[in-house]
């Protein structure tokens, strides 16, 4: 059992992971060579607790205990009794290899070494260590103190025991671990960034305003923020690393027309922050907290959406084009949701074929009372795994294939397997079924 971890890198992501781990009752060593970064990181952990206390989600004593479990240090020797170390440094392979070398020497034998990379090779990182079987990817999403999903990535030498321990650690923090195969971008970024670069490229080609395009996406309803606001929240420097890696791996479908690199070269981490783009007040405040004191411009050239539309008679048309490009590239998500819903139907039908029992009858009654009861559906699928008999894997494969066949647009997708995992992970984020389905998809 993992009781103490190290997080290397006290930036936004590192301090978020530290907070999530400490909130889960784990002792954390927050390691960074920059004393100022350590001070900011620890302050960030404290602010998360203070906000939750203010909102009545946590007591002051709980917040103080979480902060007390995070120990800042600049000395790598202080990680010598940790069960797990997670690096959260910039998405540059040379930096991560150097960090892995330091951690490999400092950690005790048998400790797990994890990377929070969003798409770099776990196998390549593992090769720099003397413990390749104990190296794994643990990709938390920002803000890690809130976001539930954690991608668990297996390198070519990662042992099954290491994967299992990493998953159990994520679950102990209240997270939802999803196993994914090693490939550039893994699962989420292959879908998300593909849609985002479409928006950057389209906006550049027609001169559309970013704030207006983001507002159009939000008003259309499929996403809580548009591509440009999301890129700013991620950070354009991080986005630039991810985009260039994906373009190198998969070609021009990840081309952003050089837009992100140009902004980073100009010294900008972020471009936008205006309430008019359709962000909720909570998201606006998150932007303000992140970029306060950094010198980043908080307005779109000082113009509101209305002023931009009045100044450019074609602005509305341009905005519609960018929205169409972004949502068109995001169509895989809609297809995945449709596939998921169809798969649920098939799996519930399979559940009803399992042998009679009082437990099964109780679940069936709950579903009869409320066909949309998600908890009852999850219990039904857990029951299916436990009582499906020797033909369970065959049954699951039939359900997977039938759902894919019945979903329009699914077969023609160039990321069909990734979509299968997305579709199921959005509902089956628990127990044995998610593992069995992942094995089918990755098989």
* Catalytic site positions: 139
CA 306 to chain centre: 34
Pairing of β 135-140 and β 149-154: antiparallel
What is the dihedral sign for C-alpha 312, 316, 319, 324? negative
CA proximity to 439, closest of 172, 180, 238: 180
Helix (H) or strand (E) holding 7: strand 4-8
CB 382 within 8 A of CB 359: no
Q: What gap in Å lies between CA 285 and CA 271, rounded to an integer?
A: 16
Q: In what order do the strands lie in the sheet with 112-115?
A: 70-73, 27-31, 4-8, 84-87, 112-115, 135-140, 149-154, 176-180
28 beta partners: 5, 70
Q: What gap in Å lies between CA 128 and CA 101, rounded to an integer?
A: 7
Q: What gap in Å lies between CA 381 and CA 392, rounded to an integer?
A: 12
Q: What is the DSSP string of 93-142?
A: HHHHHHHHHHHHHHSPTT-EEEE--SSS-HHHHHTTSS-GGGEEEEEE-S
Cα-based distances in Å from 367 to 9, 374, 377: 47, 9, 7
Cis peptide before 143 (omega within 30 of 0): yes
Name residues whose C-beta falls within 8 Å of residue 109's C-beta, 6 or more positions apart in sequence. 131
Q: What gap in Å lies between CA 305 and CA 276, rounded to an integer?
A: 7
């Amino acid at each position: 059992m993992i009781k103490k971890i190290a997080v290397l890198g006290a930036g936004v992501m590192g301090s978020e992971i530290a907070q999530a781990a400490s909130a889960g009752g784990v002792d954390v060593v927050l390691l960074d060579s920059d004393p100022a970064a350590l001070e900011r990181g620890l302050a960030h952990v404290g602010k998360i607790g203070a906000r939750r206390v203010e909102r009545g989600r946590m007591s002051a004593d709980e917040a103080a205990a979480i902060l007390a479990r995070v120990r800042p240090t600049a000395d790598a020797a202080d990680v010598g009794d940790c069960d797990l170390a997670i690096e959260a440094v910039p998405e540059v392979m040379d930096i991560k290899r150097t960090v892995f070398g330091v951690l490999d020497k400092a950690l005790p034998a048998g400790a797990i070494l994890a990377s929070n990379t969003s798409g770099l090779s776990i196998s390549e990182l593992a090769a720099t260590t003397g413990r390749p079987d104990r190296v794994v990817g643990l990709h938390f999403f920002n803000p890690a103190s809130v976001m539930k999903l954690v991608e668990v990535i297996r390198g070519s030498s990662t042992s099954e025991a290491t994967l299992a321990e990493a998953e159990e650690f994520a679950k102990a923090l209240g997270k939802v671990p999803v196993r994914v195969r090693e490939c550039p971008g893994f699962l989420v970024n292959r879908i998300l960034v593909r849609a985002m670069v479409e928006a950057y490229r389209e906006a550049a080609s027609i001169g559309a305003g970013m704030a207006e395009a983001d507002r159009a996406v939000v008003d259309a309803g499929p996403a809580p923020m548009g591509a440009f606001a999301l890129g700013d929240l991620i950070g354009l420097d991080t986005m630039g690393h991810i985009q260039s890696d994906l373009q190198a791996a998969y070609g021009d479908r990840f081309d952003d027309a050089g837009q992100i690199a140009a902004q980073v070269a100009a010294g900008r981490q972020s471009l936008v922050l205006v309430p008019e783009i359709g962000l909720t007040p909570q998201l606006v405040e998150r932007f303000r907290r992140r970029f306060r004191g950094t010198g980043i411009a908080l307005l779109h050239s000082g113009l509101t959406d209305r002023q931009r539309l009045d100044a450019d008679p074609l602005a509305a048309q341009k905005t519609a084009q960018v929205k169409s490009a972004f949502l068109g590239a995001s169509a895989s998500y809609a297809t995945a949701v449709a596939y998921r819903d169809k798969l649920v139907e098939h799996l519930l039908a399979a559940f009803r074929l399992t042998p009679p029992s009082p437990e099964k009858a109780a679940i069936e009654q709950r579903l009869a009372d409320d066909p949309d009861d998600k908890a009852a559906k999850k219990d039904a699928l857990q029951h299916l795994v436990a009582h499906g008999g020797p033909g369970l894997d065959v049954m699951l494969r039939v359900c997977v294939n039938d759902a894919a066949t019945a979903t329009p647009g699914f077969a023609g997708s160039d990321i069909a397997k990734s979509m299968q995992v997305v579709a199921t992970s959005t509902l089956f984020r628990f127990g044995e079924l998610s593992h069995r389905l992942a094995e089918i998809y990755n098989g």
